[in-house]
Structure 1
Amino acid sequence: MRIRNYITAIMLLAATQTAHADVSFSMQAEAEAQNTPQGWKAVELPQGLPAFTAANTFDITDFGAATTAADNTAAIQAALDAAHQAGGGMVIVPTGEWLFGRITIGSRTVLHLCAGATLKLLAYADQPDHTTKTPYITDKKGATDIVIEGESAETSVIEGQGGPWWDAVEAKESGLQRGSIIRLYQGERHLFRHFRLQNAPGTNLTLGQSGKGAHNTVHDVHIYAPASTVADPSHNTDGIPIWTQYCNIYNCLIDTGDDNVVTDSNAQYIHVWNCQFKAGHGASLGSYTVDMHHIIYEDLSFDGTDCGFRLKSNTDRSGDVHDIIFRDCTMHNVATPIQITAWYDKVPDSPAAAAASPESVKSTTPHYHDILIQNVTVSGYDTKNSNDKNYNGIMIYGRPESYVHDVTFDNVQIAHRNGVRLFFCKDIKFINGCTFTKTRTSQSVSTTDADLSSVMENSYEASYSWNGSTSGIATAIVAPQPTADRYYNLQGHTYNKMARSKGIYIHNGKKVIMK
């Protein structure tokens, strides 16, 4: 059971009023909505913010910003610097459209976008440097306790003018680098709420770096960019990438061109709930998965995303990945609902070919285990693709030297054009009434069936149990044409004629029983 954690110390900051007539500030709602999973430390909200008065509330127009200006960067930065020099304060962005470039925020500062305010990045042609990855909105070195907020996701907007940047990606512009619109690197306790990010040049709202920048709360933020599958796509416009610990993300709508939310290396104790994902690559983990654990995605709805739950990495960027939960979610028209792969961007020709050349286990070898997928319903995807094997209701693809293991599907109901593929995995459990329908062939398995064989597209060295009734070894073999001296057991291991013991083997495409 999840528990709701109330932080009384944070509530002392509630209902602080600013001197700006139209702006009030409170963090009481955040304190009440913590929703901390049992056994986890609560995410810390910003602390030490001053009482906001006329002395520490700064309107950017008082520093020379104007809707008619070609570039308001200096004026906005001057207002932020004034708040920093005051020991903290609020910077007001009034109604109107304000062009800007890169700005930095100091500790105990609130950047507030009024209703009807749009912060608009300078156009691609007006930015002299296309080769730096510095974020557009970031923190001063060591800054903590920062709030970036609007008045609603419909009326307070940060516009990225990303189109020409995406064109430059397609044109393979030399040295091109695209910074996040927002990324706070080092300090802790940051809050993002009630605004919209749209048309980012690259990623949108990135949390932390290399484990720093912990304790983030994001809610009621909407993110938009064209899907990666449309005629004029965005590129790598991840919604919320996470590279740190202790983050709450809730009540967000993300419709973009890459991962909707993605946890990467050093992501730990991440809780994402009550969000809508439309175009995008789903609720993702990786591809960088070093030291990543205790992540919960729940109460999410997916509509037309490329993927649903997707864990992806490879042997140059992974490690021990565990205690992952994906539950209470619905998916409609999702191309790849459940994908767990240790072969990101480097899929072998066949699992048998991979088995013939296992790598040595090292610290960055993917080791995926203790994953729960619970109370998930999938329907509506029936699109024929040129390569259907890449679009499956369930795909688990471990490695011969490091099996995916201890994955539990609990009350998961999937209807999908294509079936199930299981490679190099063990102790995969389907419990509490799981069902699967392969709509391409109108084949189904239910709680009364013995196994997944009727919906299995392919499997190799994979063991699973189906609704507690059976436990079996998947035996389908995808391998090069066997030679006269090559024998395979039912787990796909290769033997020569002299090395065989008693058992059942496949030889020259036929079953052979050795007594």
Structure 2
Amino acid sequence: MKTLCFVLACFLLTGARAQDKSEARSTAGDVRSAQDYVRAAPFPMALPALPELRQGIFLITDFGAIGDGQALNTAAFSKAIAACTQAGGGRVIVPPGLWLTGPIRLASNVNLEVQRGALIQFTRDRTQYPPQGSNPTPLVYGENLHDVAITGGGILDGGGDAWRPVKKEKVTDAQWKAMLASGGTLSNNNTVWWPGTEAKDYRPYMINLVGCTRVLFKDVTFRNSPKFVVDPNKCTDLTLDGINVFNEYYAQNGDGIDISACKNVLLYHCNVSAGDDGICMKSSGDWMTAPDSAALENVVIAGCHVYHAHGGFVIGSNTDGGMRRIFVTDCDYVGTDIGIRVKSNAGRGGLVREVYVDNIFMTDIVHEAISFNTYYEDMPAGADPNKRTAPKPGKTPIFTGFHISNVYCRGAAQAIALTGLPEMPVHGIYFDRVRISARTGLTTKDARDIFLRRVSITTEQGVPLKPEHPDDIRVVE
């Protein structure tokens, strides 16, 4: 077993400031309020504005809803939301019960309050989800709304097992046999099972809000989604507070929380277990037209737990809209494939900078504790892994200005892997107070200006540090 400790001679000023704030939190005791986390961010940001909602109450049972798990309540939900909107807004109450429904279309000034004991079960009848573009209607959706919320201690179940393909390699023999016995369709190579009558990837998102302002998700549980679970896109002033997201570990494309091209975002005390990325930042657009801005910016992720997922905190793969001012702190990742995962490729990339990751605790990470990968490629269900496509030219990923501090990991296949492109190396990455035990250590390929300060890597095999070139990493023992 080999251990490597480094002390960095020079450290970027902004990184040092972020470190000072971390130390202030640790000496001040438990600082856990959302306001304190936002204030601790190493960039100026205010708490996202919350929805302004009236107190009117609209009980779905007053509009014909029956909570027996048999009656279809799509119309009742629609009528209750319409009445709430017509009255100027308020709370659409889902009381305890089992509420079967098709898609729910939200509206401005509406809080869908799913009370503890309430279980919204989305029907597995595919005919209830008519096409919207190239996908079926999302389970819960809205566009260009303002002042909208989903709250309460209840559960929304997406019935995703009626939609999702399953790769044989991801399930046990008993599970695979049960799926085959239930019907469905096999891929040509018999390695992917589809629940429908054809091998076609046609699935709705679960929660899909686009272009909305002042959005709140609080205390609810979202589970068993056909595809991505919580997927806000191009939203401003977005708060996710104390929500639980659960998809089966074998859920194909079952991302937990995807924040796509949003601004002024707080994820606070959320719990995620997913079949794909846990908490993921995405961004699409043309950042070159405004180099001082980004499609995704001002994001604070604090006090969150991620269990099974492809990555605990993830950036990408779509980064071409640009990202900046992201602060991740006080989070735990247990058993994720990768802990901190930054990914993109030529054709999907853009400028990602001003990312601060601090106070992260990880254990039993399957692959890398920390990974930067600019050769990421989607592998849809049924795709031949031997027929990978070449990356598209243009839209080059630029990963720079990352500050990763106070990260502790016990158990990983590899400590850190940094892989850039020959034409655009990963660069300007700062590590401070990082301690990792792993089978292998730190490697670089097309990476430069990687700074290590107070870093300890303990390996079972090989040397703790194996850069492609000796000067890729700037360290002093």
TM-score interval, normalised by the smaller of the two chains: 0.7 to 0.9
Matched, 1:195 2:220: yes
Q: CA deviation digits over 1:426-461, x for unaligned, max 9?
A: 110111x211111245xxxxxxxxxxxx22456258
**Match of 2:140?**
137
CA distance 1:127–1:461, shift in 2 (3 Å): farther
TM-score with structure 2 length normalisation? 0.77
Provide the C-alpha distance between the structure 1 equivalents of 2:374 and 2:468, rounded to a whole number of angstroms: 15
**Match of 2:91?**
90
CA distance 1:366–1:462, shift in 2 (3 Å): farther
Partner of 2:165, secondary structure, is helix
* Structure 1 residue 92 displacement after superposition: 0.3
Provide the C-alpha distance between the structure 1 equivalents of 2:348 and 2:396, rounded to a whole number of angstroms: 7
Query: Of 338, 342, 347, which residue of structure 2 is paired with 1:316?
Result: 347
CA distance 1:34–1:459, shift in 2 (3 Å): closer
* Structure 1 residue 213 displacement after superposition: 1.5
> How many aligned positions are there?
394
Partner amino acid for 2:224? N
CA distance 1:39–1:393, shift in 2 (3 Å): closer
**Match of 1:258?**
276
Partner of 2:146, secondary structure, is coil
Partner of 1:406, secondary structure, is strand
Matched, 1:177 2:202: yes
Provide the C-alpha distance between the structure 1 equivalents of 2:466 and 2:353, rounded to a whole number of angstroms: 27
**For residues 11-410 of structure 1, what are the structure 2 equivalents within 5 Å?**
35=39, 37-50=41-54, 52=55, 56-68=56-68, 69-124=70-125, 127=128, 129=130, 132-139=135-142, 141-151=143-153, 156-167=154-165, 170-171=192-193, 173-208=198-233, 212-227=234-249, 233-243=250-260, 244-265=262-283, 266-281=295-310, 282-290=312-320, 291-335=322-366, 336-345=368-377, 362=394, 364-381=395-412, 391-410=413-432
Provide the C-alpha distance between the structure 1 equivalents of 2:100 and 2:80, rounded to a whole number of angstroms: 15
* Structure 1 residue 124 displacement after superposition: 4.8
Q: CA deviation digits over 1:324-361, x for unaligned, max 9?
A: 111111110012110001111299xxxxxxxxxx9998
* Structure 1 residue 189 displacement after superposition: 0.7
Contact 1:419 1:456 in 2 (8 A): yes
Partner amino acid for 2:255? D
Provide the C-alpha distance between the structure 2 equivalents of 1:138 and 1:72, rounded to a whole number of angstroms: 16
Contact 2:252 2:275 in 1 (8 A): yes
Partner of 2:48, secondary structure, is coil
Q: Which moved more, 1:293-302 or 1:130-139?
A: 130-139
Q: Larger relative contact order (C-alpha < 8 A, sep ≥ 6)?
A: 2
Contact 1:293 1:323 in 2 (8 A): yes
* Structure 1 residue 65 displacement after superposition: 0.5
Provide the C-alpha distance between the structure 2 equivalents of 1:325 and 1:44, rounded to a whole number of angstroms: 19
Provide the C-alpha distance between the structure 2 equivalents of 1:403 and 1:32, rounded to a whole number of angstroms: 35
Contact 2:50 2:239 in 1 (8 A): no
**Match of 1:459?**
468
CA distance 1:100–1:412, shift in 2 (3 Å): same
Partner amino acid for 2:159? Q
Partner amino acid for 1:308? G
* Structure 1 residue 321 displacement after superposition: 1.1
* Structure 1 residue 142 displacement after superposition: 2.5
Query: Please, what is the CA RMSD of the aligned residues?
Result: 2.6
Provide the C-alpha distance between the structure 2 equivalents of 1:427 and 1:114, rounded to a whole number of angstroms: 51
Contact 1:423 1:461 in 2 (8 A): no
CA distance 1:318–1:461, shift in 2 (3 Å): farther
* Structure 1 residue 462 displacement after superposition: 5.8
Partner amino acid for 1:100? T
CA distance 1:133–1:41, shift in 2 (3 Å): farther
Provide the C-alpha distance between the structure 2 equivalents of 1:429 and 1:242, rounded to a whole number of angstroms: 29
Partner of 2:83, secondary structure, is helix
Contact 1:320 1:368 in 2 (8 A): yes
Contact 2:166 2:251 in 1 (8 A): no
Provide the C-alpha distance between the structure 1 equivalents of 2:391 and 2:246, rounded to a whole number of angstroms: 40
Partner of 2:446, secondary structure, is strand
TM-score with structure 1 length normalisation? 0.71
Partner of 2:77, secondary structure, is helix
CA distance 1:192–1:30, shift in 2 (3 Å): farther
CA distance 1:127–1:332, shift in 2 (3 Å): same
Provide the C-alpha distance between the structure 2 equivalents of 1:325 and 1:263, rounded to a whole number of angstroms: 13
CA distance 1:178–1:125, shift in 2 (3 Å): closer
Provide the C-alpha distance between the structure 2 equivalents of 1:121 and 1:35, rounded to a whole number of angstroms: 39
Contact 2:307 2:334 in 1 (8 A): yes
Provide the C-alpha distance between the structure 2 equivalents of 1:215 and 1:463, rounded to a whole number of angstroms: 39
Contact 2:38 2:300 in 1 (8 A): no
Provide the C-alpha distance between the structure 2 equivalents of 1:36 and 1:48, rounded to a whole number of angstroms: 26
CA distance 1:215–1:346, shift in 2 (3 Å): closer
Q: CA deviation digits over 1:369-412, x for unaligned, max 9?
A: 1111101011123xxxxxxxxx5211000111111111111010
Contact 1:274 1:298 in 2 (8 A): yes
* Structure 1 residue 134 displacement after superposition: 3.0
* Structure 1 residue 264 displacement after superposition: 0.5
* Structure 1 residue 366 displacement after superposition: 1.0
* Structure 1 residue 43 displacement after superposition: 3.7
